Amino acid sequence: MVLSMMRATENNQDLSIKLKSLDQECRNCTPTSPLECITRCRIYRLKNELRTIREAINNPNYIKELFNVLKNKTRLHILQAITDGRYSVSKLQRELKRSGHKYSQETIIEEYLHPLMAVGLSAEARDEYYATAFGNRISEMLGCFPEFTEKLPVRSECHEETLLQCLLLGPKTFEDIEVFISPKIASRTLKRLHSTGLIETPAQRDYVFFIKTKRDPKKEAFSVIVRRVYDTVGYNGISVGKLAKKTGLSRRGTYKVLHRLKGKKLVFVRRIPKTYGLTCKGEMLASVLQELGQVVEDTWRSCEQVTQTSTNLFEVGGLSSRAIIR
């Protein structure tokens, strides 16, 4: 996870430096006409991409929509294909057919390309589709974790994603989890994540422990069975299940003895709430989700930088040929 965050920071710094360099090129550029700037300038295309993405990110539900778009194998397949080059719809159709998927061109456009474009991962020019700079970063990131689309429910409200990132900070009790997601859906969300092997609970499911007090037991008369239970309890605590197994008593019999010991103030009860933590696979997925969020934040900053620079160029350049808004 630390390595991923370092890479995200480096990418953000590289993009920021690149944008400053491109701004300097814009200031020194003398296009013969606005058309030349729009059709041939790579700087214009990059900045235009960032402005388009900025509009998408302005949506308060953007992160949820981005996650839902990405939780689809076919979309990820297309994104990775157009990262390597431009594809027409017919070429994409042939590419998907080679992987065993037969879709009409209309389906490819409506169900796969349009959603990718809506969140700024791809763009279209002259009937060909390609990945944006933002899409390239996302494609590279998810290429290292192909299970991304298999573990999370599609078209969801992304409660699972929220909870995974919450648990990335450390194990949480049910009460802690209810702070991040609604208590009404917390149990269902935990069950879904547990069934996919992304979270786990401690092997010891009993969380009511009996602990020996410091009161002197010599003042009491013990039967053999009571003495056996008392000696087994210990000062570190033990659950009834383990205590019954060690003493050879039934759970019911163990509870009866413990009740007597508790009445004599020789043992006390401590409740330790069950906690939920990430498995190795869950930690990997949570780190990917966190990094995705970081990439969105970095891209937003770059978009704001482009917008501010464009405004400054206009104010400085007036209506001269160098003042073309990029």
What does DSSP assign to residue 203? S
Q: What is the span of the domain harbouring residue 20? A: 2-149+280-323
Looking at the fold, whether 190 and 217 belong to one and the same domain comes out as no
- Cβ 140 vs Cβ 127: under 8 Å: no
Residue 154 lies in a domain: no
pLDDT, averaged per 10 consecutive residues of the chain (326 residues), comes to 39 53 58 52 67 85 93 93 93 93 94 94 91 90 78 90 94 90 92 93 70 87 90 88 92 92 90 87 92 88 69 42 32
Residues 6+ apart with CB under 8 A from 15: 133, 298, 302
Give me the pLDDT at residue 190, please. 93
Same domain, 51 and 100: yes
Number of domains forming the structure of the chain:
3
Same domain, 125 and 78: yes
Whether residue 116 sits in one domain with residue 99: yes
Question: In this structure, is the dihedral angle defined by the CA atoms of residues 204, 182, 63 and 155, taken in order, positive or negative?
Answer: positive
- What gap in Å lies between CA 36 and CA 133, rounded to an integer? 22
Are 62 and 142 contained in the same domain?
yes
Question: Could you tell me whether strands 122-125 and 128-131 are parallel, antiparallel, or unpaired per DSSP bridges?
Answer: antiparallel
pLDDT of res. 79: 95
Structural domain contains residue 98: yes
Give pLDDT, residue 216: 87
CA distances from 144 to 124, 137, 203, 229, 284 (A): 26, 12, 31, 53, 10
**Could you please report the per-residue DSSP string of 259-310?**
HHHHHTTSEEEEE---EEEE-HHHHHHHHHHHHHHHHHHHHHHHHHHHHHHH
Confidence (pLDDT) at 322: 33
The pLDDT of residue 325: 30
pLDDT at 273: 80
The stretches of the chain forming alpha helices (DSSP H) are 2-28, 34-40, 42-57, 62-70, 73-83, 89-98, 105-107, 114-118, 133-143, 148-151, 159-167, 174-180, 183-195, 224-233, 240-247, 251-263, 280-317
pTM score above 0.85? no
